[in-house]
Structure 1
Amino acid sequence: MKRKLVSFDWAMKKILRQKANFRILEGFLTELLKFDVKIEEILESEANQETEDDKFNRVDLLAKNEKDELILIEIQHNSEIDYFHRMLYGTAKLICEHIQKGGGYTKVKKVYSVNIVYFSLGQGDDYIYYGKTDFIGLNKKDTLTPSSRQKEDFQIDKVNEIYPEYYILRVNNFDDVAKNTLDEWIYFLKNEEIDDNFNAKGLDLAKESLDILKLDDKARSIYNRREQNRMYKESLLYTAKTDGIKEGLKRGIEKGIEKGIEKGIKQGIEKGMEKGVEKGVEKEKVKIAINSLENGLDIKTISLITGLTVDEIKSLK
């Protein structure tokens, strides 16, 4: 029987930071990274601190494993056009923050960046993407490898073992058919449920520890309110975007045709439609921005939805 479990981002913020629950995270990371992960401690990062925006938008967790490597897990619900850039910034910042002064470049820590996103990041058909750094010969197409001394001194076999590795889980692209143990984790991330037949590492513990029914009354109330807020915000974003596009195109086409008919020539119709669409869309953007402000959306989010600048939106207040 399937039971409704708390969302993984809530678990990361409230439950999985406890040492007693490290095995849940270790199970997830072991299935994803394809090697056994043993978490030594959870480290503090700026995004771990609760802010008004983080309550139902973004959560991250920074862990250190027994190899002294850093694993950054980030969950993002709302669309962010520069998310790829932020992934790079996040790993670079971690490397700089965790290198000791005077320690030399050999002390640079290995970083794994695990990104769980609930929006359409980039373009692609898959739901799990992996990125690493290799140096490929432009002429002979060979892969640059460490020298014998480098292999011995740094205990590596490949150059890419030094560089950050990236994992992107585009949860909404998953088709709900679990073909392997990693898919079982993706199913949980998407549906907040665990099938009794699943046997991926960590899921048995997750089923017990993340059961909503096992939260005390206060925690359950906070969780339910937080989920309602998140769904409401997502609904506002979706409605504002779809309504704005449909209404803007409709009005623009109507005005464009009307203007074109008045001129009575094909060129007039085409230009009228273009200008009409443009004016209609711009007017609708302003309308959407005003409605969004009245509904309490922040200016940055409104700018992403409408394409209006921050200053243009501020002038509407």
Structure 2
Amino acid sequence: MSNYIRFDWAMKRLLRDKANFAVLEGLMTTLMKKKIIIKRLLESESNQESEYDKYNRVDLLAEDETGELLLFEIQNNNEYAYFQRMLFGTSKLVTEYINRGEGYEKIRKIYSINIVYFALGSGTDFVYHGKTEFRGIHNNELLQLSPFQKQTFKADEVSQLYPEYYILKVNDFDRWSKVPLEQWIYFLNTGEIPEDATAPGLSEAREKLQLDKLSPDELKAYYRHLDNVVILRDNIHTERAEGRAEGRAEGRAEGRAEGLEEGLAKGKAEGIEEGKKEMALRMKAEGIPVEIIARCSGLSAEEIEAL
């Protein structure tokens, strides 16, 4: 086991302390390739932790010295509509942080930083950056700000006025590197910080996020959190594996009588359904709320209660 605290737990408890801002600042500086200084943390409807999300997601909202908003989210559990969720989070912030009667020029710049521990979409990279641009449909010309707009908004490009998104798909990245951003991805996935780490913020993480600095009560709570994260991940993997295995077995047996293709399809469907129920039962036994079980298994609350 790693000697350092998982980053999602650190964001819940430790990194909200101003004395520990340097860790988050290091990650942002490395990711965005410009110096980021966090001025304060803010509360938002979008980043309030709910009872049902305490195991599989973490939100944190920060403001930097320039007044720009940095929305961090860590997601441990697969969510097929996560792209829309990112959009919802930034849209809420746009409306929350402008006062009634203020002009649109007061809308705040938002960066949405998403650390996901599951396979989001289809792509082979592990860091993605998204921003809004407008191009001519006839000549592909990039629409630019006027000189007056540049001076007024203190921006060079239209995209600087819109939210920007970063997605860090860290789950499968386990190779150490001399590249600062890759060092951060390695730490986010493995929880390890090798001695030759040079990325901004990692030296602070090595100092601030050591397990042996937790109190006995904090350590117990931390291990409970780890158990719940592992349960969420293992249940998904188990459900998929059991579904495939049972589907193949039943498919082969029924295929002799009904035809191989039909039997395989039926066996796979029944195997997946049984796998979902097994997963739901294990999660119920761990005391995980029905809402989270339903989200993970695809079963309805009524089906879960009947198990």
In 2 relative to 1, CA 283–146 (structure 1 residues): closer, same or farther, beyond 3 Å?
Answer: closer
Identity %: 43
Cα distance in 1, alignment partners of residues 225 and 136 from structure 2: 51
Amino acid across the alignment from 1:72: L
Instruction: Determine the structure 2 residue equivalent to 1:254.
Output: 253
Cα distance in 1, alignment partners of residues 35 and 256 from structure 2: 64
1:53 positional shift: 3.0
Cα distance in 2, alignment partners of residues 34 and 286 from structure 1: 43
CA-to-aligned-CA distance 1:218-260 (integer Å, 9 cap, x gap): 2122212221232233222321231123212321342133123
Aligned pair count?
A: 306
In the alignment, structure 1 segments of 5+ residues that lack a partner are 261-268
Instruction: Determine the structure 1 residue equivalent to 2:142.
Output: 143
Cα distance in 1, alignment partners of residues 130 and 33 from structure 2: 14
Which 4+ stretches in 1 moved above 6 angstroms?
Answer: none
Tell me whether 31-40 or 279-288 shows the greater mean CA deviation. 279-288
Amino acid across the alignment from 1:228: D
1:137 positional shift: 1.3
Instruction: Determine the structure 1 residue equivalent to 2:192.
Output: 193
Amino acid across the alignment from 2:187: F
Cα distance in 1, alignment partners of residues 41 and 33 from structure 2: 21
Residue of structure 2 aligned with 1:288, choices 278, 291, 295: 278
Output the TM-score relative to the length of structure 1.
0.88
In 2 relative to 1, CA 253–47 (structure 1 residues): closer, same or farther, beyond 3 Å?
Answer: farther
Q: CA RMSD in A?
A: 2.4
Question: Is contact 1:251–1:277 with CA below 8 Å preserved after alignment?
Answer: yes
How does 1:233-252 map onto structure 2 within 5 Å? 233-252=232-251
In 2 relative to 1, CA 13–255 (structure 1 residues): closer, same or farther, beyond 3 Å?
Answer: same
Instruction: Determine the structure 2 residue equivalent to 1:13.
Output: 12
CA-to-aligned-CA distance 1:197-228 (integer Å, 9 cap, x gap): 01111111111111111112221222122212
In 2 relative to 1, CA 291–245 (structure 1 residues): closer, same or farther, beyond 3 Å?
Answer: farther
3-state DSSP class of the match of 2:129?
strand
In 2 relative to 1, CA 17–129 (structure 1 residues): closer, same or farther, beyond 3 Å?
Answer: same
Amino acid across the alignment from 1:217: P
How does 1:151-190 map onto structure 2 within 5 Å? 151-190=150-189
Cα distance in 2, alignment partners of residues 62 and 86 from structure 1: 15
How does 1:208-287 map onto structure 2 within 5 Å? 208-260=207-259, 270=261, 272-273=262-263, 276-277=266-267, 280-281=270-271, 284=274, 287=277
Cα distance in 1, alignment partners of residues 298 and 210 from structure 2: 40
Cα distance in 1, alignment partners of residues 296 and 56 from structure 2: 15
Cα distance in 2, alignment partners of residues 289 and 211 from structure 1: 33
Instruction: Determine the structure 2 residue equivalent to 1:83.
Output: 82
Amino acid across the alignment from 1:79: N
1:307 positional shift: 4.3
1:145 positional shift: 0.5
CA-to-aligned-CA distance 1:26-85 (integer Å, 9 cap, x gap): 111100111111111001134654444333210011000111110001000010111111
Question: Is contact 2:172–2:189 with CA below 8 Å preserved after alignment?
Answer: no
Question: Is contact 1:59–1:75 with CA below 8 Å preserved after alignment?
Answer: yes
Cα distance in 2, alignment partners of residues 139 and 63 from structure 1: 40
In 2 relative to 1, CA 305–102 (structure 1 residues): closer, same or farther, beyond 3 Å?
Answer: closer
Q: In terms of Rg, which structure is larger?
A: 1
Cα distance in 2, alignment partners of residues 36 and 6 from structure 1: 25
Instruction: Determine the structure 1 residue equivalent to 2:303.
Output: 313
3-state DSSP class of the match of 2:134?
coil
Tell me whether 288-297 or 154-163 shows the greater mean CA deviation. 288-297
Instruction: Determine the structure 1 residue equivalent to 2:119.
Output: 120
